[in-house]
Homo-oligomer: A and B are copies of this chain.
Amino acid sequence: MAACCIGIDLGGTFIKLGLLDRQLAVTAQDRRPTPAAGGQAVIDAMADAAEDLLASAGVRKSDAAGVGIGSPGPLDLDAGVIIGTPNIPGLRGVALREELTRRLGLPAALDNDANLAALGEFLVGSGRDVRHMVLLTLGTGVGSGIVVDGELLHGGHGIGAEVGHMIVRPGGRPCGCGQRGCLEQYASAGHLARHARRMIEDEGRGGRLADVLAEKGDLDARDVQQAAAAGDPTARRAWDEAVAALADACVSLARVLDPDLIVIGGGMAAAGEALMGPLREQYRGRHWTLTHPRTDLALASLGNDAGVIGAAAAAWRRFG
């Protein structure tokens, strides 16, 4: 009987990987930089890292049930092929599932990185006691995965669960996807920081956040949140806009999907209760007269490991 599955989380900066037993406990893990050359170098690095991890853990390949791979997308899930990856060059059209199967001699499961992070949080993280869950990862953009009755929602073409591109501010900020007013433009750590910086540069009013920007040369979401908490009016406006957009999205998700839980992770979630407090307040403040809001909101609990855990879990579900 197989002793482990390998989970690989392919990111723009790092390839993270782990060995997980059937109970989804991480028994070994590693990470290495994603080769900037992209393409074949990335595939080689993934395969080498997996071989090395097995070797260093003293696990024979015959004791591994399979490998799960979380990749940025969009992906063609049926074919196991990458349609495009904005942050890693040279992977467009690559049959990643087949390549890894061939290189490792193990069956491989491929899914969207955000979906697999959701599966990880669902199985062993904040969602471990529920059946219906949404994960929103508020990082550079907004990644998301949706679990309906225990299964990942993929949709008819494998491109569902893109909550970051729900239109929450019609006619609002232009998004890289070509739409306007996408959630991602308001509630991602990356866009919040970028927007706050632009507000400071446009308004030229000074203040605490302007001082941080002058000192560091850049801003992150935490800077904005802390300056907002300290009363900086520009930071306050930017932060409140982010929370309001996120609350609207959570209401719409609750209405459409009625999940037991919406889990919030990523850089924005580092603010902890400074985010969740006002978010819950606004979310609950949209009174529903016919039915009470029954979807809870919670912080993610697996941090950066969710993707690796979910990737291995997908392999266990498929090949275990």
Contact = CB atoms under 8 A, between A and B. Distances in A.
Contacts of A259: 155-156
B156 A260 contact: yes
Interface in A212-247: 244-245
7 contacts: A146-B256, A148-B148, A153-B257, A157-B294, A161-B258, A163-B256, A253-B256
A141 to B, nearest CB: 11
Given A156-B258, A158-B258, A177-B289, 11 more contacts: A130-B156, A156-B294, A157-B258, A159-B291, A159-B294, A160-B257, A161-B256, A161-B258, A167-B252, A170-B244, A256-B256
Contacts of A74: 290-291
B257 A287 contact: no
Nearest to A166: B252
A188 interface: no
A277 interface: no
A255 to B, nearest CB: 4
Given A84-B290, A169-B170, A131 B156 contact: yes
B258 A154 contact: yes
Contact of A255 (B131, B162, B286, B287): B162
A51 interface: no
A155 B295 CA distance: 10
Contacts of A156: 130-132, 258-261, 294-295
Contact of A167 (B146, B157, B165, B168): B168
Interface residues of A, number: 52
A178 interface: yes
Interface in A253-311: 253, 255-261, 286-291, 294-295
Interface of A: 74, 83-84, 86, 130-132, 146, 148, 153-163, 165-170, 176-180, 244-245, 248, 251-253, 255-261, 286-291, 294-295
A167 B248 contact: yes
A174 to B, nearest CB: 11
Contacts of A287: 178-179
A179 B154 CA distance: 29
A145 to B, nearest CB: 11
A293 B256 CA distance: 20
A211 to B, nearest CB: 32
A130 B131 CA distance: 25
Given A156-B130, A294-B157, A177 B288 contact: yes
Nearest to A253: B256
Contacts of A291: 74, 83, 159
B178 A289 contact: yes
Top-7 shortest CB links A-B: A155-B258, A160-B258, A178-B287, A156-B260, A132-B156, A166-B252, A165-B255
